[in-house]
Amino acid sequence: MDALLLQILNGLDKGSAYALIALGLTLIFGTLGVVNFAHGALFMIGAFCAVTFSKILNISKITLDPEKTNFLGKPLEIKTPYVIEWFGESTGAALIDWAVPLSILFAIPVMLLVGYVMERGLIKHFYKRPHADQILVTFGLAIVVGELVKTSFGANPIPTPAPELFRGSFDFGVLIGMEANAVIYPFWRLVYFGFSAVVISSIFAFLQFTTFGMVVRAGMADRETVGLLGIDIDKRFTFMFGVAAAVAGLAGVMYTPINSPNYNMGMDFLVLSFVVVVVGGMGSLPGAVLAGFMLGILESFASMNEVKSFFEMLYLPSIDQIVIYLVAIIVLLVRPRGLMGREGVMED
């Protein structure tokens, strides 16, 4: 029982990331009808927003301490980050410690801007072109963004730790009345899950309960009619592209403590997120979220030792690497439209 619970919990953090990226992909596809192969790059940009922000917080003033010398016999350099100098010892240190959560505030405007520029500057010109062209141009963009990040941040993963408070693990089992040390779970992963739940529900609430969201949903259903009613639907769709970019970026920001960001992380997530979107049903927002969590949990079950050794008997070692693809194939063979796909979407 506790082993099962642990695997479900383990799946939640990856599942949250899949769900967030897939949600953004579906938003873009549902509104603008564009398949965005650069969405993984947006996830990566988000992660590097966190890296940049913590670097900015760590910009230091260098003072020389004439009394101490370093091993070369020169005066010792003392680095004091400016934030510590400005806000005092404790507040400044806390700011640096909380760099990752704080960079959410930094990432949202940046990602909205990135999304806006990307849509107005590039994607706009591809609405009337075939889907193949859209795929190819966004694929090229993903390569370019990845390489630019590589030249400015280097190819190695950059460790970005979570705040002191959330580091390490805690005993999850005790909370739900199990004995101590039965289910030990890293703190930050739970934070990530909670965060993604908040983001996903606020996106749904935004679409469901605001006038803006209502218009967007109407536009997704029938763009032309909404346009005929005198609403500038293109403007709202551009904004939704920005929102989708921000969702992917936030997923990236919060993922940095789990996995140190490198320039290639977006590509790895992108392929899986596409599989998630296809399994969930193209154009269905709840489907994307559901499939994201489902596949994440499934992946973590497949990495259980018992499951692995069972499949090893069938000459399929490390089944966890391919289980998502296998499930996707089965789902598409049984339900070609995906789990919650609507009729008439992408049925060419």
> How far from each other are the two terminal CA atoms of the chain, in whole angstroms?
46
Selected from 190, 267, 304, 339, the binder of another protein by CB under 8 A is 267
194 binds another protein (CB under 8 A): no
139 binds another protein (CB under 8 A): yes
What are the residues facing 76 on neighbouring strands?
A: 65
Closest CA to 19 of 262, 143, 201: 201
Site residues (CB under 8 A) for another protein, limited to 157-186: none
Selected from 1, 62, 132, 180, the binder of another protein by CB under 8 A is 132
DSSP helix/strand/coil, 303: coil
Binding to another protein by CB under 8 A, coded x per residue (else -) over 275-304, reads: x-xx---x----------------------
151 binds another protein (CB under 8 A): yes
Q: Are 42 and 266 in contact (CB under 8 A)?
A: yes
135 binds another protein (CB under 8 A): yes
Scanning 105-113, 191-199, 228-236, 312-320 for contacts with another protein by CB under 8 A, the matching segment is: 312-320
110 binds another protein (CB under 8 A): no
Q: How far is 211 from 6, CA to CA, in rounded Å?
A: 41
Q: Read off the amino acid at residue 27.
A: L
Closest CA to 96 of 157, 45, 50: 50
Q: Are 50 and 100 in contact (CB under 8 A)?
A: yes
**Smallest distance, another protein to C-beta of residue 119, A:** 15
Specify the residue, 54 or 134, whose C-beta has the smaller distance to another protein: 134
Q: How many residues does the chain have?
A: 348
Specify the residue, 19 or 319, whose C-beta has the smaller distance to another protein: 319
Phi-psi region of 342 (alpha: psi -120 to 50; beta: other; left: phi over 0): beta
319 binds another protein (CB under 8 A): yes
107 binds another protein (CB under 8 A): no
> 196 to each of 163, 191, 230, how far by Cα in Å?
18, 9, 35
Specify the residue, 147 or 164, whose C-beta has the smaller distance to another protein: 147
32 binds another protein (CB under 8 A): no
Structure token pair of residue 25: 């992909």
Binding site for another protein (CB under 8 A): 35, 122, 125, 129-133, 135-137, 139-144, 146-148, 151, 267, 271, 274-275, 277-278, 282, 316-319, 321-322, 325-326, 328-329, 332-333, 336, 346, 348
